[in-house]
Amino acid sequence: MTTTTPAELLPSLLSADPGRPRITCYDDLPGPTAGERVELSAAVLDKWVAKVGNALQEEWDIGPGSRVALRAAPHWRSVYWALGVWRIGATLLVDGSADADDVDLIVTDDQPPADAGAAVVYLTRASLARTADIALAPGVVDEAAELSGYGDHLDPWETPDDDHEALVSPRLAARYLDLVTVSSQQWPGLHRGARLDLAPASTHDLLTAVVATWSVSGSVVVHLGETDPQVRSGRARSEGVDARL
């Protein structure tokens, strides 16, 4: 399958090899998740993405023309939220690229403001979390507690429009038709099946790297935080990394 839009990324990976790891994430950030290693195959990602897509459609009627602000640091959870938004054709805004009154939903890993101006979902980073790690204001959706209740199969209500914006950040505004090409230009030289070593400085960097790598049926090894260079080199060897950009 040829991948031409972000909505086609996951179906393409599922067709190629559903069991192969596509993202391996090491958390070196200070705090309770330090030391976590999470690895997700296309098949596992598909379930997360389906739950996100179903929640977006059923709870907030989000689809083409809707705008979702992802106010979260680089993380594997940021990836499946991005994929869920793209599967149903909405626009994803990252790295502070929108005000609350410009969006239909805010997804955040930080303390939500008392009056966010839009519906809010709170992300807890811990891989085994079943409830939020902070007290949440009334009306804020606890992703850790609520997302698991949505279906594992997603039927998008509408088809993404190629001319609609897929990803907006302070560095770009890319349409569905363009995002794969733009991402590949930002991360050039990836061979087919590449396993990319990555320490993303922003959610923009993480998502464009994922799009570029997955468009050539590759995978990413992600390091979050200030990773010791020797530790990172050792991981690269054990993980079979063959691409560094």
pLDDT band at 116 (very low <50, low <70, confident <90, very high): confident
| Confidence category of residue 99, pLDDT binned at 50, 70, 90 | low
What average pLDDT does the segment 114-136 reach? Answer: 92
To 5 degrees, how large is the angle CA 186–CA 192–CA 196?
55
pLDDT of residue 115: 78
Q: What does the pLDDT read at residue 2?
A: 62
Q: Phi first, then psi: give them for residue 220, nearest 5 degrees.
A: -125, 145
- Determine the pLDDT at residue 100: 64
> In the predicted model, is pLDDT for residue 241 greater than 90?
yes
Report which of 118, 119, 52, 63 is spatially closest to residue 88, judged by C-alpha positions. Answer: 63
pLDDT for position 4 = 85
pLDDT exceeds 60 at position 145: yes
> What is the tens place of the pLDDT at every residue in 101-114?
789 999 999 988 77
- In whole numbers, what is the pLDDT of the chain averaged over residues? 95
Q: DSSP character for 113?
A: P
Q: Quickly state the pLDDT bin for 147 (edges 50, 70, 90).
A: very high
pLDDT range class, residue 85, cuts 50, 70, 90: very high
**Length of the chain counted residue by residue:** 245
Return the pLDDT at 92: 98
Model confidence pLDDT, tens digit, residues 170-222? 999 999 999 999 999 999 999 999 999 999 999 999 999 999 999 999 999 99
Mean per-residue pLDDT for 234-245? Answer: 96
Nearest C-alpha neighbor of 13 from the set 21, 166, 186:
21
Task: Identify the CATH assignment for 6-244 out of 3.40.718.10, 3.20.130.10, 3.40.50.12780, 3.40.50.300.
Answer: 3.40.50.12780
Give the model's confidence band at 3: pLDDT under 50 very low, under 70 low, under 90 confident, else very high. Answer: confident
- Judged against a pLDDT cut of 60, whether residue 230 lies above it is answered with yes
Burial 167-188, CB ≥16 within 10 A → b, else e: bbbeebebbbbbbbebbbebbe
pLDDT at residue 151 in the model: 98
**Is 60 exceeded by the pLDDT of residue 26?**
yes
Would residue 46 be called left, alpha or beta, if left means φ above 0 and alpha means ψ between -120 and 50 degrees? alpha
Tell me the C-alpha to C-alpha distance, in Å, between residue 57 and each of 49, 189, 215.
12, 37, 26
For residue 175, report the phi and psi dihedrals to the nearest 5 degrees.
-80, 165
User: Using CA atoms, how far apart are residues 221 and 240, in angstroms rounded to an integer?
Assistant: 9
User: Quick one: how far is CA 143 from the chain centroid?
Assistant: 14
- Secondary structure, 3-state, 224-243: ECCCCHHHHHHHHHHHCCCE
Q: Tally Cβ neighbours within 10 Å of residue 20.
A: 14
